[in-house]
Amino acid sequence: MKNSAFWSGILGGLVLAALIGFLILPLLGIFDTTATGKRNILDWWGEMNLENSLRWRAADGAIPAGADLEEGFEHYRDMCLHCHGGPDAQRQEWAHNMLPVPPKLWDEEVQHMTDAQLFSIVKDGIRMTGMPAFGPTHSNKDIWRIVAFVRRLDHLTPEQKHELQKASMSFGHHEEDEHDH
């Protein structure tokens, strides 16, 4: 009986300490949350949380047959290019300083995601990253078109690459991103 009470006390103390830490650390502002700060435990936590949240919340689904890639291209050019850029097309200058930096959607990091996960991100956004939710302003059909186009980013025609380049040039001043080449 005494042994059981001892271990219950230990467990209760650990839970209480974790709860207090969970509440106290944000009040003290210990973790750097600036966009220019160094990576810390919050980055690890956020990435792990995003991966697991997508795994649990992204409904099953695949790009519908016949999704209009041309409309997906237009949506991408108008809404995504600013932050993500494109093959041979620069993102806006300010997007280079976002933290986390918006990923290149044609890279393996993004392309390994399921269609349903990409759909969920475009539709619902990602909190505290700058990725807005397009679900409130776009139909599911339009979001699937964007996802279909994102899947084709590494296979753009020369004309599509040129049009994205031209659109990105209209942003104004660009700084070369050493990671883009």
User: 103: domain CATH number?
Assistant: 1.10.760.10
Q: Is residue 65 part of a domain?
A: yes
82 plus 151 within the same structural domain: yes
Q: In this structure, is residue 176 part of a structural domain?
A: no
Give long-range contacts, CB 8 A cutoff, 24+ apart: 80-83. 80/105, 80/146, 80/150, 81/164, 81/167, 81/168, 82/171, 83/130, 83/131
46 within some domain: no
What is the model's pTM? 0.80
> Are residues 94 and 148 part of one domain?
yes
Bridge partners (DSSP) listed for residue 126? 131
Report yes or no on 175 lying in a domain: no
Domain match, 20 and 91 both? no
Q: Which domain holds residue 11?
A: 1-30
Could you tell me how far CA 18 lies from the centroid of its own chain?
29
**How does pLDDT run along the chain (181 residues), one tens digit per residue?**
678 888 998 999 999 988 888 788 878 888 888 777 888 888 888 889 999 999 888 888 899 998 999 999 999 999 999 999 999 999 999 999 888 899 999 999 999 999 999 999 999 999 889 999 999 999 999 999 999 999 999 999 999 999 999 999 887 644 444 444 4
The helix (run of H) or strand (run of E) holding residue 148 is helix 140-151
**Do both 76 and 12 map to the same domain?**
no
- Running DSSP on this structure, what letter comes out for residue 129? T
